Structure 1
Amino acid sequence: MNNIISIIDKAVIFSVINKVWSVLSGILSIYFLTKYLNDNEMGYYYLISSILGIQIIFEGGFSSALMTYYSKYRDISLYKNGELKKLLKYAKKWYINISALFLLIVSVFGYLFISLKGITGFWEYPWFLSVTLTSLSILFLPYITLLESLGHLGSIQGYKLNFAIIGSISSWLLIANGFGIYSIACILLFSIFRDMLICIIYRNKLKIILNSNHCEKKIFIFSELKVMKNKLAISNLSMYFGFNLFIPVIYYYYDSETAGKMGLTWSALTAIQGIGAAILYTKYPLLVELVHKKIYSQAKKEWFKISLFSTIIVLICLIVFNIIYLIMKFNNIYIIEKFTNLTTIFILIIGILALQLINCLNIAIRSFGKELLMNVNLICNFITGLMIILMGKNYSVIGIATAFTSVILIISLPWEIIILKKLWRENVKV
């Protein structure tokens, strides 16, 4: 029992540090991008990154579904009956197909989309290299998910942190030496090296599974896996619409420079939002434990304290960001030209603050162990995506920012407040 707790603690610690590093590296990346890339290059940098984000649609949330069923085989004595081998074989086949489809479809249609503006000569090689590396990284997912599920989550999170740091530093060096867009491929390459190293380190455990007896009986969880996978796939599709559609839409309707300015602004603001998420995540395991033990009053107090603290931190960061922006604009500092206009930033700041409140609600709702947010996420993200497409055409970046913020304020936030109130009413004895 103590070993399990230490594994969980280790995983949580490394996960939080990973989130913190993600925020810090994002901020440092903004410095290098604004210093060494021109507006056009920066636009293609964020455009390529946004299109590669479509991987979550192809992957379809299968890793999350697999982890649920892999976890049933923590005891090594269960490996030999062949069920885990059969499940892994099924997952390998799925990911090989997904990897091939991603490489074929995204490389071709992504190329056609990016080349719509007729600008060529500097983004093609980085694009095809990044797509190829992304497709290769997909092939490691069944093994990494398996090892995480079998009790190695903490160690693997540690490897992810180390390689994330190495990858980020290497990408900054590339940007500083004139290879800006190639930095995307650099980070992907280090993630592949990381996954290869993890598989080598845990090769003995993988060999035990792969050399286990052949399982003749039918594994009924395949049908359950497909149902869960389909639900998560729809959820991932909606998530892409809600958070990754900004840049491609702006690029399609306008140009790479406008897309780059929006991409840089969005990266800065989401980095601030990531700080709040990282703070909230530190208390999530405690909330789950308290709710599981039905100590609801203490859970409510802990949730309120961490929510208030993280929201205040995000608010302070947003205010500081806005002050710095105004100071730079007043003094005509060149970096300010890399960001989008002040009106759009102000609208997005309201949206990010509202998103922070939603994250606070999310950890409280999910601590009850029920997935009650799927319908909220699906509907709100699809509405956001549709509004981004419609308003982006007529009202440029201001319309896109308004679409994002208005859906959060008018639909998402009230809806999740109602869900949480219902949960407290049903579970907490007053």
Structure 2
Amino acid sequence: MHKQIPTGASRLARLRRATGLDFHVLVTLLSRSWNVIAGAATVIVLPLRLDSTQQGYYYTITSLLGLQILFELGLGQVIIQLVGHEVAHLDGADEAKFAGDPARLDRLSSLMRLLRRWYMVAALLFGLAAGVAGCVFLARRGDLPPAQWLGIWIIMVASTAVNLMYVPALAMLEGCGRIGQVARLRMMQSIIGYCGLWLGLILGAGLWSAVMVPLASAVSTSLWLRRAHVYDWLLQRVVEPTNRIAWRRDVLPFQARIAISAMSGYFLFYAFTPLIFANRGAVEAGRFGIAMTIFNALSAVGTSWVYAKTPTMAMHIARGERKELNEIFFAVFKRSMAFTVAAATGIVVCASLLSWTGVPQMARIASPGVLACLAFVCSCNCVVFSLAAYMRAHREEPMHGVSVTGAVATTLIAYFGSRGDILSMSAMYAALTAFVMLPWTILLFRRYQRRNH
């Protein structure tokens, strides 16, 4: 008998099985990997076209835009879980239109109407509150006159508010299992935005180039949703009053807990750069801001495997398929961890070699010691984020205690640490993650594991 030689197609299929790269994981991974590449390219281009002060304003402004978390209140994650549990019992959930139990279709329809109203109000409040607060904060330092950043800030806040308004439509799609389609949209808008940013920097637009990323996202999402007519039929559906989603009964119990975690997330990941800006100036804020941007992007890429399977995990739970839930989670978790640890280590090694060889651009980024601390935090957070996704797929939020404790401790570390040595501040941040947040999360996760055996 002749031994069959694997064809290119069979090798590709074998590789996809080994890496777990189905359409949704692959596109999510490509989208987030692009953001890492774009962030790295921006790290290179920014110091060439902006001075140290302008660079500090760039990263401080992007950190301040993270305030949208305080207005969204984690509802995006709530939507994915709620929708996932509903469509688990419907047919064709990953298509443009699906069918099944009329009561569940009514609940989805009423949920979409409810969310559209909520997010329109949230977007308006964010635009007003963040716009004013940001102006006051940026004006206090006075390194640049308002004429050089005020218009930029207004456009970026307005664009972010528009993006916030579109969260429910995209989250509904993700909850229905269309993770890959949404990731593809986000990758395209990111490509357009970053190419616009780089072109603006090259042509001498300076800090004004920063508006391209959120502006491109807002415009492209608006055009895509209008052209696709996403789930318009759900909005046109006549809903039986007895089947309507009640906010207090169906949404608030889950959202109240996850909102605390979401608000805490701002202080966990975005508080450092503004506080360094306030206490140490724009130059030092820019150096640390670059480092945080790199590892936040890496963290997003590393958790792509887990994130892409979140709706699937919710559907398994809704159907009581515990064995399938655990199998799929541990498969994607191992891949996420392997990638994150390897990539974080590689970044630190490369940065250390470049610093050792005396590359002048390395003076515009945090020291190798600070990068090592942030790489360790990134690796620990891969575990925390992954285990949290598993627990939240049960339509529960056990992480609020971990998040609040971490947020308070991180803010204190950032506030007092930013007045002194940045490396010591980073080491305390790493210790907090390793000795408090990580073991606490693992303890909570084990309770869910015992439940699902």
Give the aligned partner of residue 88 of structure 1.
112
Give the aligned partner of residue 236 of structure 1.
262
1:128 maps to a residue whose letter is: I
2:287 maps to a residue whose letter is: K
Q: Which runs of 5+ in 1 are unaligned?
A: 1-7
Give the aligned partner of residue 124 of structure 2.
100
1:22 maps to a residue whose letter is: N
2:186 maps to a residue whose letter is: K
CA–CA distance in structure 2, aligned partners of residues 9 and 346 of structure 1: 32
CA–CA distance in structure 1, aligned partners of residues 305 and 234 of structure 2: 38
Give the aligned partner of residue 414 of structure 1.
439
Per-residue deviation at 1:131? 0.6
Residues 152-163 of structure 1 aligned to structure 2 (within 5 Å): 152-163=178-189
Correspondence for 1:32 among 14, 21, 45: 45
CA–CA distance in structure 2, aligned partners of residues 274 and 98 of structure 1: 25
- The 3-state SS of whatever aligns with 2:238 is coil
Residues 370-409 of structure 1 aligned to structure 2 (within 5 Å): 371-393=397-419, 395-409=420-434
Per-residue deviation at 1:257? 1.0
Per-residue deviation at 1:49? 0.2
Give the aligned partner of residue 221 of structure 1.
246
Give the aligned partner of residue 66 of structure 2.
53
CA–CA distance in structure 1, aligned partners of residues 217 and 286 of structure 2: 25
Aligned residues: 416
What TM-score results when the alignment is normalised by the length of structure 2?
Answer: 0.79
Correspondence for 1:117 among 136, 141, 145: 141
CA–CA distance in structure 2, aligned partners of residues 295 and 389 of structure 1: 45
Does the alignment pair 1:132 with 2:145? no
Contact 2:60 2:277 in 1 (8 A): yes
1:129 maps to a residue whose letter is: I
Give the aligned partner of residue 3 of structure 1.
none
Give the aligned partner of residue 79 of structure 2.
66
Does the alignment pair 1:210 with 2:235? yes
Residues 2-401 of structure 1 aligned to structure 2 (within 5 Å): 9-71=22-84, 72=86, 74=93, 75-76=98-99, 78=102, 84-118=108-142, 119-120=144-145, 121-150=147-176, 152-203=178-229, 205-206=231-232, 208-213=233-238, 215-217=240-242, 219-223=244-248, 224-278=250-304, 292=321, 294=323, 302=331, 306=335, 309-310=338-339, 312-314=341-343, 316-328=345-357, 331=358, 333-359=359-385, 371-393=397-419, 395-401=420-426
> What's the C-alpha RMSD, in Å, of the aligned pairs?
3.5
Per-residue deviation at 1:320? 2.3
Contact 1:82 1:215 in 2 (8 A): yes
1:397 maps to a residue whose letter is: I
Give the aligned partner of residue 4 of structure 1.
none
Contact 1:27 1:271 in 2 (8 A): no
Name the stretch that deviates more: 17-26 or 137-146.
Answer: 137-146
Per-residue deviation at 1:83? 5.1
Per-residue deviation at 1:40? 0.5
1:406 maps to a residue whose letter is: A
Contact 2:81 2:393 in 1 (8 A): no
CA–CA distance in structure 1, aligned partners of residues 105 and 387 of structure 2: 42
CA pair 320-285 structure 1, distance change in 2 beyond 3 A: farther
CA pair 177-392 structure 1, distance change in 2 beyond 3 A: same
Per-residue deviation at 1:46? 0.4
What TM-score results when the alignment is normalised by the length of structure 1?
Answer: 0.83
- The 3-state SS of whatever aligns with 1:54 is helix
Contact 1:358 1:413 in 2 (8 A): yes
2:356 maps to a residue whose letter is: I
Deviations 1:143-163 (A, max 9, x none): 333344456443232222222
Per-residue deviation at 1:242? 0.6
CA–CA distance in structure 2, aligned partners of residues 192 and 40 of structure 1: 28
Contact 2:257 2:397 in 1 (8 A): no
Deviations 1:109-130 (A, max 9, x none): 1100000012313111111110
CA pair 142-309 structure 1, distance change in 2 beyond 3 A: closer
Per-residue deviation at 1:204? 7.3
Name the stretch that deviates more: 130-139 or 47-56.
Answer: 130-139
Per-residue deviation at 1:341? 3.7
CA–CA distance in structure 2, aligned partners of residues 87 and 281 of structure 1: 22
CA–CA distance in structure 2, aligned partners of residues 84 and 357 of structure 1: 32
Per-residue deviation at 1:190? 1.5
- The 3-state SS of whatever aligns with 2:366 is coil
1:211 maps to a residue whose letter is: Q
CA pair 340-20 structure 1, distance change in 2 beyond 3 A: closer
Contact 2:190 2:217 in 1 (8 A): yes
CA–CA distance in structure 1, aligned partners of residues 389 and 164 of structure 2: 28
Per-residue deviation at 1:231? 1.9
CA–CA distance in structure 2, aligned partners of residues 202 and 284 of structure 1: 24
Q: Which runs of 5+ in 2 are unaligned?
A: 1-20, 88-92
CA pair 65-309 structure 1, distance change in 2 beyond 3 A: closer
Contact 2:348 2:371 in 1 (8 A): no
- The 3-state SS of whatever aligns with 2:323 is coil
1:244 maps to a residue whose letter is: Y
CA–CA distance in structure 1, aligned partners of residues 157 and 112 of structure 2: 25
